[in-house]
C-alpha cells in the first residue's frame, strides 16, 4: 500500500505554524496548487484554527474563507478535503467540490455533522477528540491512553454507521496533539498498528506539532527557538515514514516535499531487487 500525502492549506490568520501566510483566497489557492505540484495527493482546506487555546470561529466566517479555495482547487482537478467541525460548512464545501470531510472532533462538536455527511457521497475522517482547543490539555487524563483512544474511535465509527455512513467511507485519525500531552502522543504512535487493526483507513497528522518540538528541544521546552520550522519538518517526515510502515493510509503535512522524499527513500529501502548506484 502506498501511503498518501495530504497537504495542509490553512486559510486562517491564527494557525499555530503558518497562520496568516495563506489567509486570503488567492494566496491559499496558489499554495494548494503548489502543494499538489510538489506531490500532495489530497489537499486539506481549513478555515478555523485548532491550535491549543484557539477560540471557535463562526461558520459564516469559516465558509467565507474556505469555499472559494475549495471550489478553485476542485475545479483545477485536486482531490480536496474540508477541515471543519461544522455541518453547514461540510455540506457547502462538498457542494463546492470537496470529496472528504475531515472533522477533528469526530462528529462531537456539531451533533448534525454525521447526519449531514451521510446525505453526501463524501468520505469522512473522524478524529479522536476530547473537547475544544481552548482547554484540550485539561482533558488529557487517561488510565490507558492507547486503550481509551481505540475505544473512543470505535464509538465514533459506530455513531457514523448509525447515522448512515458505511465503513467504506470512513477514515479514523488518532488525533495526535489533540487532548494528549507529549508522552501520550508517542504512546499512541507506537500503537498505530492497533489503530489500523480497527479496520478503517487511518490518517496520521504529526506535522510541526508541539510534541515534536519538545522531543527535539535540549530541555524539553515546547517554545525552544532552536527548534526551527525546518527541524520540525524533518521530524515530521520521520514520523510520517514510521506511520506509513505501521499501515497509515495517509499522512497530513505542511512540507510535502520532505515527506514525499522520505516516503520514497523508505519505499526504495524496502523494495527488493532495486539496482543500486555505484559510487
Q: Is 206 exposed, middle or buried (0-12, 13-18, 19+ CB in 10 A)?
A: buried
Is 252 among the residues known to form the active site?
A: yes
Task: Find the catalytic residue in 65, 180, 209, 232.
Answer: 209
Is 201 among the residues known to form the active site?
A: no
Minimal CA–CA distance to 123: which of 74, 153, 90? Answer: 90
Question: Position of cell 447515522?
Answer: 163
Indicate left, alpha or beta for 252 from its phi (over 0: left) and psi (-120 to 50: alpha): beta
Backbone angles phi and psi of 114, in degrees to 5: -60, -45
Instruction: Count the alpha carbons within 13 Å of 108 in the hemisphere toward its beta carbon.
Output: 16
Contact 11, 28 (CB under 8 A): yes
Task: Find the catalytic residue in 130, 156, 169, 252.
Answer: 252
Q: Give the catalytic positions in this structure.
A: 209, 252
Amino acid at each position: 500500500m502506498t501511503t498518501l500525502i495530504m497537504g495542509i492549506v490553512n486559510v486562517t490568520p491564527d494557525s499555530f505554524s503558518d497562520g496568516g501566510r495563506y489567509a486570503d483566497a488567492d494566496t491559499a489557492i496558489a499554495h494548494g496548487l503548489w502543494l499538489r505540484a510538489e506531490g500532495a495527493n489530497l489537499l486539506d482546506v481549513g478555515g478555523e484554527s485548532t491550535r491549543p487555546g484557539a477560540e471557535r470561529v463562526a461558520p459564516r466566517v469559516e465558509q467565507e474563507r474556505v469555499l472559494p479555495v475549495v471550489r478553485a482547487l476542485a475545479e483545477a482537478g485536486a482531490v480536496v478535503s474540508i477541515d471543519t467541525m461544522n455541518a453547514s460548512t461540510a455540506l457547502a464545501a462538498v457542494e463546492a467540490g470537496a470529496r472528504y470531510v475531515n472533522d477533528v472532533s469526530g462528529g462531537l462538536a456539531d451533533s448534525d455533522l454525521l447526519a449531514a455527511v451521510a446525505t453526501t457521497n463524501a468520505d469522512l475522517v473522524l478524529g479522536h477528540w476530547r473537547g475544544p482547543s481552548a482547554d484540550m490539555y485539561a482533558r488529557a487524563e487517561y488510565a490507558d491512553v492507547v486503550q481509551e483512544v481505540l475505544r473512543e474511535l470505535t464509538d465514533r465509527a459506530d455513531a457514523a454507521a448509525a447515522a448512515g455512513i458505511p465503513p467504506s467511507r470512513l477514515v479514523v485519525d488518532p488525533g495526535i496533539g489533540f487532548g494528549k500531552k507529549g508522552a501520550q502522543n508517542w504512546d499512541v504512535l507506537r500503537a498505530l498498528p492497533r489503530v489500523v487493526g480497527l479496520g478503517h483507513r487511518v490518517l496520521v497528522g504529526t506535522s510541526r506539532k508541539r510534541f515534536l518540538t519538545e522531543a527535539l528541544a535540549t530541555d524539553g521546552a515546547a517554545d525552544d527557538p532552536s527548534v526551527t520550522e525546518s527541524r520540525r519538518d524533518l521530524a515530521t517526515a520521520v514520523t510520517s515514514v514510521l506511520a506509513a510502515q505501521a499501515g497509515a493510509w495517509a499522512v497530513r503535512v505542511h512540507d510535502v516535499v520532505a515527506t514525499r522524499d522520505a516516503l520514497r527513500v523508505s519505499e526504495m529501502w524496502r523494495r527488493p531487487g532495486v539496482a543500486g548506484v555505484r559510487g
